[in-house]
Structure 1
Amino acid sequence: MLIDVRTLPHGSCRSVIFRAIADLPGDANLVVAAPHDPAPLREYLAIAHPDEFGWDYLEEGPDVWRVRISRVAA
């Protein structure tokens, strides 16, 4: 699944991403594309869901940042 936050209405990004993360099956990945480093999202996941999600940078700017988020097997 890909979420390109650059195409979402202002103010809806977090709710869309959080909903997709909550619904992410164990065998699926979520790719988030953003116009900046989504490091605050990584920090949120580390605090709210410690050790539940993996995080891999696929592209690191300068125009687009892409990260793959995956559920870590329990």
Structure 2
Amino acid sequence: MADTKLDVREIPPAERHPKIHAAFEGLESGETLTILNDHDPKPLFYEMQAEVAAFDAENYAVERRSPTEFVATFPKR
């Protein structure tokens, strides 16, 4: 299984979700998108859970490494 990494901290906020969605769509089933973000991506989790059937919400994980560094994994079914 492949793991695609995307650091969105330097991307303007309005452009982050479209880039994340595009990267996720490019994954094959069983692959994972890992994002590095400057805040907890909980709103993105809810968005993906509601709108993206291929998102494996049960295996989503997020790790807070510092107050401004969060690593989240978005697995694809």
Give TM class, smaller chain: 0.7 to 0.9
- Cα offset for 1:27? 2.8
Cα separation, partners in 2 of 1:49 and 1:10, compared to 1, 3 Å = closer
- What is the aligned partner in structure 2 of residue 36 from structure 1? 39
Measured in 1, the distance between the counterparts of 2:55 and 2:37 equals 22
Q: TM-score, normalised by structure 1?
A: 0.80
Give 4+ residue runs of structure 1 displaced > 3 Å after superposition.
Answer: none
**What is the correspondence of 1:23-62 to structure 2 with a 5 Å cutoff?**
23-50=26-53, 52-53=55-56, 54-57=59-62, 59-60=63-64, 61-62=66-67
Q: How high is the sequence identity, in percent, across the aligned residues?
A: 21
Once superposed, what is the RMSD of the aligned Cα atoms? 1.8
Aligned length: 71
SS in 1 for 2:22: helix
- Segments of structure 1 that go 5 or more residues without pairing to the other structure are none
Q: TM-score, normalised by structure 2?
A: 0.77
- Cα offset for 1:42? 0.5
